[in-house]
């Protein structure tokens, strides 16, 4: 049940409150030829000279205004008592005009010589203390440097390239879990995803981000819309709304972009239960509690549900994906901080069954509901809270996945004890898994890390006979993976990583020994990273 009238009224009130805000210009960088120190000094001098010039001009304009006001007052008096005031106004006029030209003449002189004196003068010039609220324009006073392209959004391109050697074919079907395109990294050189992002404030109330991804699919590159959303800036009392296509805030790693990951690939729980990261078209609403010591954020999302674990819910009135999440975090002394979360995802396939790969030739359709419960935590430590030399990070997430409904195999092949199309009995899938990882930065720019992944097949029954699912994606299995990495970052904008891993996702006797070399290069504006 929705409450449109309630929402509309709330929105009107909120936008009224927020309408006082005005957007600040987005900084852009000035580019020019290389310079020497003397050039620099010259430029600084000329900027100072410009300031003096502008200040003088403002002064002269103020004087002009004063003169005009006086004249107006005199004219008003003149109208009241015409004969005597006429002479007074006649003398006032030339006096005012000489004052103005005098000020303009002084401007030239100060502009030429006054540059050196500005620094000390600025420090000591008494500024009158305001006795009442001044208008907003006087709030930002002092030096505002001219910026080129203040209306240009932040633009960034992130190149994420890899070389990999693996003992198994990464295109092999995983065992025990309903895989759904978990983005396995191909062998040899590959480019993964090259990301082009545009971000910035839309106006005083909204901020928007668009993220295009040039992804390598087999031999081809496709452009896809990874994210495109807006979010509110001006809602009061900790509220925030967001709409568009975006990575869900559930879990910890779900809304982190690949260049922020500590390993080359996602944890197995994300691959098995979300087929990557949960990313949907919809809307989000969240609230930050007014607690001083603790960070508490509650929120929920409504998504159309067009990818796994949904079916293709495109062109349906009813959105079929919902999430709620709670995050709690804080500090322990000055050296440590932590963040924990609980999230719940629910979805249903509605009238559009989800088709998943069963084996090399066949697929099966699932009709029903999926729910995922996620618990996550992260703990960070650094000496004195200064993470630039040394730091440590411990992070983990656990997923509980439940699917209920029915499934059918459509295949030209005849399955043992099941004629095509093969309808199964009740489908109950209760699987779970977790990962835990530790990252240690032992000196500036260098980090090492270890990650352990575990999935549990649980007591799942898909409604098919054991013979039917033997050797398919549904055959019960508990995979594990051990990953070790070391990375070196020359700056915030470039990073190289070596990762070694042993993955048993492909089933018994098919251990995949992996080696990855990765580079991440960030061009342009690089937005601040979340905790």
Partner 1 sequence: MIFSNACRVIGLAAVALSMAMSATAAQAQLNVFATVPEWGALAEELGGDKVKVYVATNALQDPHRVQARPSLLARARSAQLMLATGADLEIGWLPLLQRDAGNPNILPGKPGMFEASQYVQLLGIPLSVDRSMGDVHAGGNPHIQTDPRNFLPIARALTDRLIVLDSANGSFYQDRLRSFLFKWQASIDRWTTIAQPLRGEKIWVQHDGFVYLNDWLGLVQVGTLEPSPGLDPSVAHLSAVLQRQSQLQGRMVITAAYAGDTASKWFSEKANVPLVVLPFTVGGNKEATTLETFFQNTIAHLLQAR
109 binding partner 1? (CB under 8 A): no
122 binding partner 1? (CB under 8 A): yes
For residue 198, CA distances in Å to 221, 222, 246, 301, 520 come to 20, 18, 14, 23, 18
130 binding partner 1? (CB under 8 A): yes
285 binding partner 1? (CB under 8 A): yes
Contact 269, 481 (CB under 8 A): no
Pick the binder of partner 1 from 174, 234, 305, 309 (CB under 8 A): 234
Tokens 């995983």, residue located: 174
Contact 485, 264 (CB under 8 A): yes
298 binding partner 1? (CB under 8 A): yes
* Integer Rg of the chain from CA: 32
Provide, rounded to whole angstroms, the least separation between the CB of residue 22 and partner 1.
5
Widest CA span in the chain: 118
Of the ranges 141-149, 166-174, 462-470, 476-484, which one interacts with partner 1 (CB under 8 A)? 141-149
Of the ranges 18-26, 73-81, 102-110, 410-418, which one interacts with partner 1 (CB under 8 A)? 18-26
Provide, rounded to whole angstroms, the least separation between the CB of residue 61 and partner 1.
22
92 binding partner 1? (CB under 8 A): no
Contact 367, 342 (CB under 8 A): no
Rounded to 10 degrees, the C-alpha dihedral 182/185/481/253 comes to: -60
| Residue with smaller CB distance to partner 1, 79 or 120 | 120
Distance CA 178, CA 76 (A): 87
Pick the binder of partner 1 from 16, 139, 317, 419 (CB under 8 A): 139
Of residues 238-257, those binding partner 1 (CB under 8 A): 238-240
Distance CA 531, CA 524 (A): 21
80 binding partner 1? (CB under 8 A): no
Q: Enter the tokens of residue 511.
A: 């251990």
Distance CA 221, CA 167 (A): 25
Of residues 477-496, those binding partner 1 (CB under 8 A): 491, 493
Provide, rounded to whole angstroms, the least separation between the CB of residue 457 and partner 1.
29
Provide, rounded to whole angstroms, the least separation between the CB of residue 292 and partner 1.
6
Of residues 310-369, those binding partner 1 (CB under 8 A): 322, 324, 327-331, 334, 337-339
388 binding partner 1? (CB under 8 A): yes
292 binding partner 1? (CB under 8 A): yes
Question: Which helix (H) or strand (E) segment is 65 a member of?
Answer: helix 37-80
**Which residues make beta-bridge pairs with 431?**
401
| Residue with smaller CB distance to partner 1, 56 or 453 | 56
For residue 148, CA distances in Å to 28, 39, 153, 348, 422 come to 6, 20, 12, 50, 65
Provide, rounded to whole angstroms, the least separation between the CB of residue 252 and partner 1.
12
Pick the binder of partner 1 from 65, 68, 289, 426 (CB under 8 A): 289
Provide, rounded to whole angstroms, the least separation between the CB of residue 280 and partner 1.
14
Q: What are the phi and psi torsion angles at 373 (to 5°)?
A: -110, 130
């Amino acid at each position: 049940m929705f409450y449109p009238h309630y929402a509309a009224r709330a929105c009107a009130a909120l936008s009224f409150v927020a309408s006082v805000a005005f957007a600040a210009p987005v900084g852009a960088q000035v580019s020019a030829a290389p310079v020497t120190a003397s050039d620099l000094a010259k430029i600084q001098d000329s900027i100072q000279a410009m300031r003096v010039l502008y200040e003088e001009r403002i002064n002269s304009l103020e004087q002009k205004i004063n003169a005009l006001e006086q004249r107006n007052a005199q004219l008003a008096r003149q109208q009241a008592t015409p004969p005597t005031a006429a002479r007074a106004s006649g003398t006032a006029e030339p006096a005012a005009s000489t004052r103005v030209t005098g000020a303009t003449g002084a401007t030239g002189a100060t502009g030429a010589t006054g540059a050196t004196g500005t620094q000390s003068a600025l420090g000591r010039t008494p500024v009158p203390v305001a006795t009442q609220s001044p208008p907003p324009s006087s709030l930002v006073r002092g030096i505002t440097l001219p910026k080129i392209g203040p209306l240009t959004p932040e633009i960034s391109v992130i190149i994420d390239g890899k070389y990999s050697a693996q003992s198994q074919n990464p295109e092999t079907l995983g065992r025990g879990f309903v895989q759904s395109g978990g983005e396995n990294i191909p062998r040899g050189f590959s480019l993964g995803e090259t990301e082009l992002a545009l971000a910035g404030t839309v106006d005083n109330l909204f901020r928007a981000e668009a993220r295009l991804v040039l992804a390598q699919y087999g031999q081809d590159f496709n452009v896809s819309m990874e994210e495109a959303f807006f979010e509110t800036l001006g809602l009061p009392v900790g509220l925030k709304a967001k709409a568009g296509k975006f990575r869900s805030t559930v879990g910890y790693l779900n809304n982190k972009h690949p260049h922020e990951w500590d390993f080359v690939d996602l944890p197995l729980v994300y691959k098995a239960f979300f087929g990557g990261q949960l990313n949907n078209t919809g809307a989000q609403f969240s609230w930050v509690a007014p607690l001083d010591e603790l960070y508490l954020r509650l929120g929920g999302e409504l998504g159309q549900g067009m990818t796994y674990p949904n079916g293709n819910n495109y062109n349906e009135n009813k959105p079929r994906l919902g999430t709620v999440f709670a995050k709690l975090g804080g500090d322990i002394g000055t050296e440590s901080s932590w963040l924990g979360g609980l999230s719940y995802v629910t979805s249903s396939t509605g009238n559009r069954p989800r088709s998943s790969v069963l084996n090399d030739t066949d697929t099966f359709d699932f009709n029903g509901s999926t729910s995922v419960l996620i618990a996550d935590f992260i703990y960070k430590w650094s000496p004195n809270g200064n993470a630039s030399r040394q730091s440590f990070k411990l992070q983990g997430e656990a997923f509980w996945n439940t699917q209920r409904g029915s499934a059918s195999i459509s295949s030209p092949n005849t399955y043992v004890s099941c004629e095509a199309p093969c309808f199964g009995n009740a489908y109950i899938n209760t699987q779970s898994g977790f990962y835990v990882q530790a990252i240690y930065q032992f000196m500036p720019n260098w980090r090492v890390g270890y990650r352990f992944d575990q999935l549990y097949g649980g007591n799942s029954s898909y409604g098919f006979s054991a013979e039917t699912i033997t050797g398919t994606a549904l055959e019960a299995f508990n995979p594990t993976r051990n990953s070790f990495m070391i990375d070196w970052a020359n700056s915030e904008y470039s990073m190289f990583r070596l990762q070694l891993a042993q993955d048993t996702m492909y089933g018994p006797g098919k251990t995949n020994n992996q080696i990855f070399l990765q580079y991440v290069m960030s061009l342009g504006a690089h937005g601040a990273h979340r905790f």
